[in-house]
Structure 1
């Protein structure tokens, strides 16, 4: 893996449930880990239905393997890249060599 290709900063966020004073449960996202990534397989896609247009772009992030990213899953984690939110659809462990991990993501609305 060439370190020079890791040229974009991303932030990984983790979901947790917070309970307020009167017992309401609320899903909150907090910063989990920040690292540099290689961006690949960008596939822009816009959908139109009933006059509404939304962006469903897909993108892959390749990051270095570490103890923090070894526990990632597609449930409960998301990626922030250039102020956009990407939900993780799948994780490729790159033949389990413990060198890098590829995150297959889809852009989602706020």
Structure 2
């Protein structure tokens, strides 16, 4: 893996449920891991639904392997990059060689 290609900073966040002072359960996103990544496979895609433009941009984030990233699953985790939030669709462990992990993501609708 060419280290020079890891030139974009991303943050992986984990979803947790907390209770407030009166017992209401609230979904909260906490920063789990921040690192540099290579972004590839960008495919900008927009569609129109019910008169609104929907952004369905997909991107692949390749990061170096570490214990924190190896625990990431598509459920309950997301990637924040350049002010945008990306839901994780799938994870490619690159033949389980413990060198890199590819996060296949789609931009979240807000």
Q: TM-score, normalised by structure 2?
A: 0.98
Which runs of 5 or more residues in structure 1 are unaligned? none
Provide the rounded CA distance (Å) in 2 between the counterparts of 1:98 and 1:49.
41
Encode CA deviations 1:50-77: one digit per residue, 9 max, x unaligned: 2111101000000000011110000111
Question: Aligned pair count?
Answer: 110
Alignment of 1:1-110 (within 5 A): 1-110=1-110
Q: TM-score, normalised by structure 1?
A: 0.98
Which aligned segments of 4 or more residues in structure 1 are displaced greater than 6 angstroms?
A: none
Kindly state the Cα deviation for residue 109 of structure 1 after the two structures are TM-superposed.
2.3
Which runs of 5 or more residues in structure 2 are unaligned? none
